Amino acid sequence: MPICTIDNIKPGMVLGADLITPDGRMLLPRGVTLEERHIELIRKMGISEIDAWAECTPDQVDTARIEDYVRDFFLYANPDNPAVLELYRLTLERTGQAVCNGWELPDTDTRRAVSVEHLDDIFLKGLGGPEQCVSHELELESFPDIYFRIREVLESESGNADKIAQVVSTDVGLSSKLLKLVNSPFYGFPSTIDSISRAVALVGGNELSTLALGVSTISYFKDIPRELVDMRTFWRHSISCGIFARILASEQQGLQSERFFIGGLLHDVGRLIMFKTLPYASTEAMLFARENSIPLVEAERETMDFCHTDVSRILMREWKFPESLGEMINNHHDPMNYPNPLEPAIIHVADNMANAMAVAEGGMYVIPGIVDGAWELLGLDPSFMGTALEQYERQIDQIMDAFF
């Protein structure tokens, strides 16, 4: 259910969960319609956010329009798949809530083409491929080596928490982002972690190095022009996918779920290389996807003859990313054709869920669809999607803050 900050709470909103005070006392039960006096009480108790939504009646909202709007995003998803159906239902509910909270459904004009004539690609269609994109990019700039320096310490015999902390601390930007992240609800540690050495001790060197890899990759791509792609929207999708992947992986026995956060975070990294080397063609693909209501990955294949996972396959190898991370990223659109489908299937489902979350936020791309067998592989009941969504909504904003 939606988390509402204190400044946005209005009389008439309905509580989505029991409201508990910081010292554990029940303040108001789930289902209460908030009145002015309740809001005052919540304020007095120092509670900064609550689980609440605006009550709305059918005549206030054109439910048929909402359904039409949401259905458009699911044109590519198999309606016989129970997981897709549940995701559709949740998206409909979430979009309805957003409309009740004052969000206006975007009209189709927002999908209109923009001029991208001035953007130069490194090659014309058919005269190059993913290899050229990656080699051109790597000639210009090398990957920040902080991750590899952390790995080196981790793998050396004398590697200990203090040494790892020393290496991480040489990068001030990385250190502060890591601290914000370990202090976010993502980890849920009861007290504030104020030093990198404490973070290493609590989170573990391996996990911290994986997080460092994610943070370094984000920094590497910070200079992509805004006119080309809204990077905040791009990373919100990526972080959302990471959060869902971590939640789904934590339901599996024997998987280290944190690795999946980074897998989700970087799943579309090939697209970023395409933005840098083929800005014109990438923009064309985005417009083609919007105008024809097809998933972006299909539009890439249609307009360029290859897609972002073809690029990431080469990039991950060149950057020497851990192999298992590369595999979940490179196979996220086609997990069931990969010999060990579970890890890419988790990213695949998480990507679909992340795309569905964007529907009520003005997202422009059709949901790629869950391939047969991917959800079943996870062994979860479709109702788990709702549980995952609740957990997601508690994490997304603070994790976005930690990164940007």
Site residues for Fe ion per CB under 5 A: 268, 351
For Fe ion, the closer CB: 199 or 241: 241
CB-based closest residue to Fe ion:
351
Single-letter amino acid, residue 246: R
Reduced DSSP (H G I as helix, E B as strand, rest coil) percent helix, strand, coil of the chain, to 5: 60, 5, 35
Name the minimum Å distance from CB 176 to Fe ion.
27
Name the minimum Å distance from CB 194 to Fe ion.
34
Unique residue bearing structure tokens 């198999």: 78
Name the minimum Å distance from CB 239 to Fe ion.
11
Look at residue 155 and give its three-state secondary structure: helix
Classify residue 16 by its DSSP letter. S
Name the minimum Å distance from CB 84 to Fe ion.
16
Tell me how far apart the alpha carbons of residues 281 and 307 are, in angstroms, rounded to a whole number. 11
Name the minimum Å distance from CB 309 to Fe ion.
7
Length of the chain: 404
For Fe ion, the closer CB: 163 or 290: 290
For Fe ion, the closer CB: 279 or 363: 363
For Fe ion, the closer CB: 161 or 249: 249
For Fe ion, the closer CB: 67 or 361: 361
3-class SS letters over 221-253: CCCCCCCCCCHHHHHHHHHHHHHHHHHHHHCCC
Tell me how far apart the alpha carbons of residues 162 and 61 are, in angstroms, rounded to a whole number. 57
> Smallest Cα–Cα separation from 348: which of 337, 363, 358, 360?
337
Name the minimum Å distance from CB 55 to Fe ion.
34
For Fe ion, the closer CB: 207 or 351: 351
Name the minimum Å distance from CB 206 to Fe ion.
26
152: Cβ contacts below 8 Å, ≥ 6 apart:
none
For Fe ion, the closer CB: 151 or 308: 308
Unique residue bearing structure tokens 């206006």: 104
Provide the strand spans (E) within 318-384: none
